[in-house]
Structure 1
Amino acid sequence: MSKNSEKPQGMGTFGGVFTPSVLTILGLVLFLRLGYVVGTVGLWQTLLIIGLASLVSVLTSISLAAVATNIEVKSGGVYYIISRTLGVAYGGAIGLVLFVALAVSVGFYCVGFAEGVTATFDITTPFAAQGIAAAAVLLMAVIAWFGSDLATRVQYVVMAFLVFSLISFGMGAWGHWDNSRLVAALGPNQGWIGFWPAFAIFFPAVTGFTQGVNMSGDLADPVRSIPRGTAYAVGLSILVYVVVAVLLAGAVPRGILTFDYGAMRNVAAFGPLIDAGIFAATLSSALASLMGAPRILQSLAKDKVFPFLAVFGVGHGPSDNPRNGILLGTLIALGTVALGNLNVIASVVAMFFVVTYGLLNYATYFEASGRSPSFRPALSWYDPRLSLVGGLVSLGVMLAINLTAGLVAIAVILAVYQYLQSTATESRWADGQRSYELQAVRDNLLAASARPEHARDWRPQILAFSNDEARRERLLRFAAWIEGHSGLTTVIRILEGKGRRARRELALAEKALERDLAAKGLTAFPLVVSATDLDVAVPVAVQSVGIGPTRINTVLLNWLDPAKRTEDPEQAKRFLGNLHASFLLGFNLVVFDAHEDDWERLTATRPAARTIDIWWSDNATGRLMLVLAYLMTRNTDWRGAPIRVITADAETDVDLRQAELEEELKSVRIAAEVIVLPIGDDRLEGLIGQSADSAIVFVPLGIREQEFTDWLGTPLANILPRLPIVALVMAAEEMDLSADPDQAEISD
């Protein structure tokens, strides 16, 4: 049966979202702890607690509705939303936390049920409450074991008991109303718990609104049901809590509220209905949590976020009921029951849920901030700032409830996040991170373009030409080195051809280049261009690649293979011509020559034992070489490698020239050793002899009479075979290494 045909058989808004959410919100805290909160901190602070807790739930509900109406929420509920928005690492971290929170909630509600039973039947036997709570957990496990159908039928009966119990309380409280009691209950009861401890006790009351979304995989139309059902449940619950708090303050003496958790029963028109409401609401809340928690765990397992959870991905029956998750949730709930103290459990549950809500709000803000055209929630009035406020309020509440526990919770989330960041394989779904990053790129590019260009902002933006797959890896490793983690590299292939065949070859070449970069772990943007004429394509490409302040400024390519140069003189001529044309267009040139044996020797040498030589020329090219050599030392492959600036063109005293160069290097803050060779009959021989054992040599490039030369006019064919790895450099830009920030560059 297809997915579409199964959907109509799912639950609707009332039965699948509204009812389980209301039954969880209007549960244990309403009947057994709201009176205690009113009695200890007073009505005004109680209303403030209700308002602040409701603010978290309302803002989170809005975030939930925005995401739920933008994507199809599948099994996993809140975990599914966060993982498909912030990615697998955040999703996995919050999925685990939320599963534990819901499993603990099962024990929390069952302990509340046990308290109601022992109070109703005056049971004082030691450990009776824990035994009753444990039996209730096991009963809920049996119902959950047989799937959601039975639970859905039961919840309507529970809803009826809840309505009748509230009517009974309202009628009785009105009959006991006394204005003097209301006035006496307005302020805090000195000597008792403060605002935030009371808030921690109350907060689990508002956590039930996620019960519907946790069952998202069982809903017929989650996109419609989740936002509507959640909004109705939260709105009605806020109203009920406010009304009940006011009635308790005016109908029950302050002393009774403080000491008697069963105060609602004492003033109700028919007390047994309150007992029935407590029993029904606590058990239904426990059941909803035990139904939701295993489905989150199942979704985590099916997504293969944690390999060790694979056993929990197995489902049973037509509804894919996660029975293994139910067993684990039951064990956690039984462990919670063993704690016994309901107030302690409430604080733990509050911390778990507030972390979840904070991340849910942040996930929605993150998705909206990406401004992706695909983010089109049905809530036309939605504003991302609502989610941001929701996230900040959640964070503040978490730290205010218990600073230590809050910091521990954040640390746990970050630890799981870092674990998944380092172990997770490629994501199997699309999340919102790329949209957010693309939006950040857009905003930053616009901001950078609006500011005047300055020499201190210069960084290498490289266009690397590479049609030779065998030498591409060495070229791009070198590109990454001279980027120094500050620039960008685009690797380009130019295919000559036209027509359909050229388009087919272009598509294949693009995929092949992407695969090659990924397989070798190379950080470069791939680009394949089809052109009818290489000589036309090169100058167009160098002028076109990049956008705004990221347009390229440096052309990088491998030195022409000597064998090909001999076999095809025309190719060598085109090579030189295209390089020269790029230089005349204002682009720096870097030509890389690395033979395989030199490369192997380099890779076998530890970084600190490698030496970078610069054959100095006192011009823009020399300064560019100095910057590129410095950027290389920012990489771990060259960390600690010494830089040597070598010159043999001193027209003055050797010691004086060395002092001048050392002072210049000091002024530009680049550490390098200066070597000044005395002028002899053949200074080139002196330079070659000095650099023969270096790891890499930067040599100024010249072009004279249709021939590549060094800066002295010596043909490179006479130099390169006698040197190790060489980077030939010709600067088209004037490099200002001092880059005084007070000297702004003003364009005409």
Structure 2
Amino acid sequence: MNNKAAEPNGSKLGTFAGVFTPSILTILGIILFLRLGYVVGEAGLWKVLIIIGLANAISVLTSVSLSAVATNMKVKGGGDYYLISRTLGLEFGGAIGLVLFLAQSVSIAFYCIGFGEALEGILPGGSALSPRMIALIAMSLLFVFAWLGADVATKFQFVVMALLVLALASFFIGGLPQVKGSTLAQNWTGPSNGPGFWILFAIFFPAVTGFTQGVSMSGDLKDPIKSLPRGTFAAVFLSIAVYFGAAMVFAATSSLDVLSKDYSAMQKVAKWPVLIDAGVVAATLSSAMASFLGAPRILQSLAQDKIFPFLTPFAKGEGASGNPRRGVLLAAGIALITVLTGNLNLIAPVVSMFFLISYGLLNYATYFEAKASSPSFRPTFQFFNKNYSLLGFLACLGAMLAIDPKAGAAAIAVLFAIHQYLLRTAHTERWADGQRSHHLQEMRKHLLATVNEPEHYRDWRPYILVFTERPDRRANLLRFSSWLEGKSGTVTAVHVIEKSGAVGYKMKQEAEEELRQAIAEQKLPIFPLAIRTSDVQTSLETLVQCFGIGPFKANTAVLNWFEEKRYSTVGGREIPYSRNLRIAFRAGVNIVLLAAGEEEWAALDAIPKEDRRIDVWWKDDATGRLMLLLAYLITRNSGWENAKIRVLAQAGKEDEKEAVMIMSDFLQEARIKAEPVVLSKVDPQAVREESGDAALVFSPFRLHYNQLQNQFGGKIEDLLNKLPIVALVLASHDVDLTAQPDEGEAGKLAAAMDEYEACLKKAQSLEHDAEMAREEALKAETRLLDCPTENTEEAAAQRAAMVKQAQEARDEAAKAFKKSAKAEARLQEAARIMESLGLTIKAPQAPQTEKKQSEAPAEDSENNETPENENIEPED
């Protein structure tokens, strides 16, 4: 079945009528006819060519981005607004859509007033009508065309297109025969006292701000995916050729003085000057008509998305093509007010900034989508590269700052204000945009980055699995778990369904939906997770071991304490409570049991937020440090910021005052603000007396075989009586609260790296010394062979001296090789330590000590032999 709307193809526009025509008519506008000659006269040809090139570089780069997005999705009505909103989200899209509608509505008046001024100058003897009255008449005529629809308006644009073609033909036919090389060479550079480069760039830049007019007509196109890239690039490249050609003709036919002072220089060059007048009229009317067609369609698309409730009436369209007549009326009203006001000098720069912002955001949206590497981003436009989009965004930003920093700042401020308004009011996402893909890609990148970095105590965060089976106690358990996370970790609510098959799958979906609703009701940062299984205990053991991805693993489990019975009900079966806890504990997961009823929660809510107190019953072990850290994390939450933490412990061998000082020093080193309290005796009665008025109590517990015991070895129920909300904690791993950055695995790795580098340098140095000693020994052997052989007393003495020198050289070589071997052994040991810490280093080639020793001259004395398996000790 075909799900496409049943719209007749005759009501849709093709590439030429729907994209190329409105784009080219807006680009080849009043700047071409009345200001290009002036820019050439003030800048000189070489500067003009740079200005044209830079301005059109923005249009080409943005066209690449537009083509990529347009070939990646079905583009509906709304043009730039639709493309940006579907990529950057409704906040950016809504803001740019609203300002673009206002900008294009004001542009109608701007171009109509320009038409009035041009027509007044053309009519002989002036006109009895003021430019404002002429603008109102022209706007009324254009309103009729826009009211009748895009088809009728497009036919009018064909007339304007014909006049524009005739005007350009008249200019080039008249100018080419007048081209002189000497004039061109003379006009290559401009006057030294002319306006600055960026002022002239600002004057020319509006000439290229029309290439996205076709995008505004996207809802009226037969095939937007094909028409938008083809029509836009055709308009852009043709306009580039026209502007470069016109600048060359101006520079080769007229003096710079004439060009800079006479805005009608094009008429003097043209073959038929009257056609230039017709071109000026056509240029202004065509730009106004393009804005009259584009503005209502942006408003209609914005209203259909229901981002701004007050715009909903403008979503309605008339006829088979859905002509936005209500939007036409509003755009005409804004244009009318602007014409009557007549003060465009202040408005025009800001309007230009809005167009530049839209181009910049379109480029950034495309770069944003491509950088997210989403599999759904598959543009068929083969010339796309995300770096082009980034360059286009930076070019737009640079152009804004160069043209008018104040106007640019004003436009950005308006855009930011609307964005912030939508961020606070638009809570429902109405479509999928690129934000989630971006977050997923960033998450992937960051997870991969953490894999290559050693774990450290300072990096510990609570990644919590909260097991919630009973709906009547779920809300408070989720609330408490979100406090433990302390805006630094994550919480996942788990519901285990012991059911297989289709029934189990349905129950899983229902359970996950219940979790999602419970989380949404409290607006908690918690993920829902329901699992179905035929074996609860096996599934729990697998879950606590495997939950997470990469280094992101569950490290804490939170459950309700069932004081009325020592088992939990999972999937209709009663499972021994302690067995589940032991499974999690053995998997390396901390256990937190929440012991609180409705009375305790009511009592907590009755305590003023500034009077809340958290008591931590301290034991100097892993559980004590974990409880203290969790208490601190709770104070990061709203309602707990002013809560006081007390750390209560029993005095040991030292007296109470000394114990308080020791605890104070520890808390200061741990950087946790808490009050140490040392008691002479700690038992259940002392706990009740000291913590009965607290808001929350942390107390350790332990697993003894299949029994749960409080910190005193008794039943947990014996401790909970007359206490407020109690969090019972058992740590499976330590959390070092005083760890420094250079301690832990990172410190070990740094020390191992330093040791390895030192050993490497020493091994290389000793290897060099051994080689030098070997060479000296060989030289001594050579000298010994050359010693005189006569049986004279003098020759005998000389031979004895030579033998002694050779023996000493051999001894030195042996010692040198022995030291080198020891250094190599230390180097290999350092490399092994590095590998044990997870960093593989390819050690350099060994000095080949054994081989070189075998090549050394043999020693005469057997007493100098070195045992092969000598126990090598590191040198001091």
Task: Give the TM-score of the pair, scaled to structure 1.
Answer: 0.96
Q: Which moved more, 1:150-159 or 1:15-24?
A: 150-159
CA 1:343–1:423 in structure 2 vs 1: closer, same or farther (change >3 Å)?
closer
Residues of 2 paired with 1:285 and 1:603: CA distance? 65
1:77 is matched with which residue?
79
2:706 is matched with which residue?
706
Q: Which moved more, 1:284-293 or 1:498-507?
A: 498-507
Residues of 1 paired with 2:175 and 2:35: CA distance? 17
Q: Which moved more, 1:83-92 or 1:36-45?
A: 36-45
Residue identity matched to 1:657: A
Residues of 1 paired with 2:568 and 2:733: CA distance? 32
Residues of 2 paired with 1:245 and 1:384: CA distance? 32
1:720 is matched with which residue?
720
Structure 2 counterparts to residues 578-657 of structure 1, below 5 A = 578-657=580-659
1:234 is matched with which residue?
236
Instruction: Indicate conservation of the 8 Å contact 2:567/2:578, yes or no.
Output: no
Offset at residue 649 of structure 1 (A): 4.3
Offset at residue 546 of structure 1 (A): 0.7
2:753 is matched with which residue?
none
Structure 2 counterparts to residues 688-703 of structure 1, below 5 A = 688-703=688-703
Of 676, 679, 702 in structure 1, the residue corresponding to residue 678 of structure 2 is 676
Residues of 2 paired with 1:250 and 1:323: CA distance? 48
Residues of 2 paired with 1:380 and 1:469: CA distance? 54
Structure 1 position 44 matched with structure 2 position 39: no
Of 153, 159, 168 in structure 2, the residue corresponding to residue 151 of structure 1 is 153
Of 443, 446, 464 in structure 1, the residue corresponding to residue 445 of structure 2 is 443
Q: Which moved more, 1:512-521 or 1:287-296?
A: 512-521
Instruction: Indicate conservation of the 8 Å contact 2:350/2:408, yes or no.
Output: no
Q: Which moved more, 1:58-67 or 1:253-262?
A: 253-262
Structure 1 position 8 matched with structure 2 position 6: no
Question: Any idea what SS the aligned residue of 2:212 has?
Answer: helix
1:23 is matched with which residue?
25
Question: Any idea what SS the aligned residue of 1:556 has?
Answer: strand
Instruction: Indicate conservation of the 8 Å contact 2:609/2:639, yes or no.
Output: yes
Instruction: Indicate conservation of the 8 Å contact 1:92/1:417, yes or no.
Output: yes
2:249 is matched with which residue?
247
Instruction: Indicate conservation of the 8 Å contact 1:607/1:636, yes or no.
Output: no
Q: What are the superposed Cα offsets for residues 14-34 of structure 1, whole Å, 9 maximum, x if unpaired?
A: 111111111111111111111
Larger RCO (alpha carbons 8 Å, 6+ apart): 1
Residue identity matched to 1:269: K
Residues of 2 paired with 1:187 and 1:394: CA distance? 27
1:224 is matched with which residue?
226
Q: What are the superposed Cα offsets for residues 573-630 of structure 1, whole Å, 9 maximum, x if unpaired?
A: 6211110121122111111112112112222333321101100000011111111111
Question: Any idea what SS the aligned residue of 1:182 has?
Answer: helix
Number of residue-to-residue matches in the alignment: 745
Instruction: Indicate conservation of the 8 Å contact 2:483/2:637, yes or no.
Output: yes
Residues of 1 paired with 2:517 and 2:8: CA distance? 39
Instruction: Indicate conservation of the 8 Å contact 2:65/2:363, yes or no.
Output: yes
CA 1:344–1:175 in structure 2 vs 1: closer, same or farther (change >3 Å)?
farther
2:479 is matched with which residue?
477
Of 58, 61, 64 in structure 2, the residue corresponding to residue 59 of structure 1 is 61
Offset at residue 338 of structure 1 (A): 4.8
Q: Which moved more, 1:575-584 or 1:653-662?
A: 575-584
CA 1:712–1:41 in structure 2 vs 1: closer, same or farther (change >3 Å)?
same
Question: Any idea what SS the aligned residue of 1:109 has?
Answer: helix
The unaligned stretches of length 5 or more in structure 1 are none
Instruction: Indicate conservation of the 8 Å contact 2:37/2:260, yes or no.
Output: yes
Q: Which structure has the greater CA radius of gyration?
A: 2
Task: Give the TM-score of the pair, scaled to structure 2.
Answer: 0.82
Residues of 2 paired with 1:243 and 1:160: CA distance? 19
CA 1:571–1:147 in structure 2 vs 1: closer, same or farther (change >3 Å)?
closer
Offset at residue 572 of structure 1 (A): 7.5
Residue identity matched to 2:9: P
Offset at residue 148 of structure 1 (A): 1.0
CA 1:376–1:567 in structure 2 vs 1: closer, same or farther (change >3 Å)?
closer
Residues of 2 paired with 1:414 and 1:567: CA distance? 53
Instruction: Indicate conservation of the 8 Å contact 1:473/1:522, yes or no.
Output: no
1:424 is matched with which residue?
426
Structure 2 counterparts to residues 520-539 of structure 1, below 5 A = 520-539=522-541
Question: Any idea what SS the aligned residue of 2:433 has?
Answer: coil
1:740 is matched with which residue?
740
1:195 is matched with which residue?
197
Offset at residue 296 of structure 1 (A): 0.3
Instruction: Indicate conservation of the 8 Å contact 2:563/2:717, yes or no.
Output: no
2:862 is matched with which residue?
none
Instruction: Indicate conservation of the 8 Å contact 1:613/1:646, yes or no.
Output: yes
Residues of 2 paired with 1:46 and 1:331: CA distance? 38
Residue identity matched to 1:110: C
Q: Which moved more, 1:176-185 or 1:473-482?
A: 176-185
Q: What are the superposed Cα offsets for residues 532-574 of structure 1, whole Å, 9 maximum, x if unpaired?
A: 1222121111011111121101111111141575999x97762
Identity of aligned residues (%): 49
Residues of 2 paired with 1:737 and 1:191: CA distance? 69
Instruction: Indicate conservation of the 8 Å contact 1:74/1:216, yes or no.
Output: yes
